[in-house]
Structure 1
Amino acid sequence: MDALTAEQIAERIWLSIAERRLRPGMRLKEAELAEVFGISRARVRQVLAMLEREGLVTSEVNKGAFVAEPNVEEARDIFHIRRSVEQRVIERLMDRLDESKLDAMVAHVEQERVANAENDQRAIIKLSGGFHMMLAEMAQADFLCGLMRDLIGRSSLITAAFRDSDKYNCGPDEHEEIITHLRSGDVKAAKKAMAHHLDHVEKELRLSGEREAAKSLKDALLGGA
């Protein structure tokens, strides 16, 4: 395996969580992570600290690090906050739109459709969250971008914990609808489409019931890599 940066390793762990291969509550053993990625335990601790700041990992004294386990109320809180933040993103974005940004959005959704057609779950997950992050970046609002990075990461964890299906699809059709309203300059309709989209994502969660058992750490991180 080529040497990976701490950021690349953190992203791989994040993707394993989002893809439901690393389950909430699973222990992240330093020695095993060091072996899997061919890095020092000091670098492992750096990666785990990054993930803990993002709310994806929790640490317990004398026990180690674990994939965070969001509860139902936390899941609802995250989506409540996302609705508010993404409504503001739409408002800020509307005043900064141009054809190049709209074209970039359309191209992104086309990539989502290709990933869906090929059933490439890793690409689907990255592109789905990437669409929402793209809107925040195009809105040129640093504070909102920071919030969105955190919320998208936590939403992925919630999806891993509570989604009924192993298949993840944030919805290129619904993303396209948002773009259509942005292109027409109808901020009210764009905000309504975003709210409907997030409602749809949340309704696909099973906010009750038992979770599946975790796989081994090595299989979770290297499977499909």
Structure 2
Amino acid sequence: MSSEGGHATGAPGVADAVSASPRDARIYREIVDAIVDHRLRPGARLPEDALSEVFGVSRTGIRKVLQRLALERLVTIRPRRGAQVSRPSAREARNVFAARQLAECGSIPEVIARFDGADERALQALAERECVAQQRGAQSEAIRLSAAFHVRLVGVADNDILTSFVEQLTSLSSLIIAVYGSPRSVGCDCGEHGDLVPLLASGQASVAREWLTDHLSRIEASLDFAGGEEVTPDFEAIFFGEAARGTAAGQ
């Protein structure tokens, strides 16, 4: 979910949030991408021994990555049960969207103050790629591109802390959609994000903020709060199978 063109956000992407070796950062990024892309589903168990074998590193190295993911609420670690992909509660889901309303909608005046042609082109390109993914039925890719649009949008405000916060919130939103969502919860009907870009380009701050408020509210309203069972995934297929390689190539 990196920025594309326009203002560099300067944000320490999620993978750089804390000091980590290049190897640990790579493993961290691969697990985050698998969660966001829904290859690792909420509730999936993450045994240290299985992950250390797949990635060819020690259990200590895997434990460091899992602890970092737990700090960001993407993973839950329980005594004697180990780690698993987090399954947000209905209350947590609502809180995530409330935080997104505050952070994203509140950033609109600053976004518009800094908005330029490069930002317009970058956001329009993301919106178009998302639309293509939706038309192909590639829901996981559409979710990832939707998150990238929101992070890129807030990045225009040139506030590193805010951008990193929204990046974390969009990752949590992907988890929430995986648990409670339906095909229409990808967030965005085809072309919807593209409707926001002209409002930003023309400096319509109040209209753009109202649009974004409604947009996030409709995603939340599409959720159906229900549960699911815990599973242990096939890590070899997730991280080194054809689908995983295809996803990585598209990023």
Deviation at 1:162, TM superposition (A): 1.1
1:87 counterpart residue number? 105
Number of residue pairs the alignment of both structures matches: 221
The one-letter amino acid paired with 2:84 is: F
CA contact 1:12–1:221 (8 Å) conserved in 2: no
Q: Deviations over 1:16-71 (max 9, x none)?
A: 33344433233210011112222222221222122112110121233321211211
> How high is the sequence identity, in percent, across the aligned residues?
34
SS of equivalent residue, structure 1 residue 59: strand
In 1, Cα distance between equivalents of 2:128 and 2:138: 14
Which blocks of at least 5 consecutive residues in structure 2 are unaligned?
1-21, 245-251
TM-score, normalising length from structure 2? Answer: 0.79
Which blocks of at least 5 consecutive residues in structure 1 are unaligned?
none
CA contact 2:45–2:232 (8 Å) conserved in 1: no
Q: 2:42 aligns with which of 12, 24, 27?
A: 24
CA contact 1:82–1:151 (8 Å) conserved in 2: yes
In 1, Cα distance between equivalents of 2:26 and 2:180: 26
In 2, Cα distance between equivalents of 1:205 and 1:6: 34
Label 1:9 to 1:166 Cα distance change in 2 as closer, same or farther (>3 A). farther
SS of equivalent residue, structure 2 residue 191: helix
Q: What RMSD in Å do the two structures reach over aligned CA positions?
A: 2.3
SS of equivalent residue, structure 1 residue 192: helix
1:120 counterpart residue number? 138
In 2, Cα distance between equivalents of 1:33 and 1:85: 34
2:127 counterpart residue number? 109
2:80 counterpart residue number? 62
In 2, Cα distance between equivalents of 1:134 and 1:50: 24
Asked whether 1:76 is paired with 2:94, we answer yes
Deviates more, 1:171-180 or 1:144-153: 171-180
Deviates more, 1:75-84 or 1:117-126: 117-126
Deviation at 1:123, TM superposition (A): 2.7
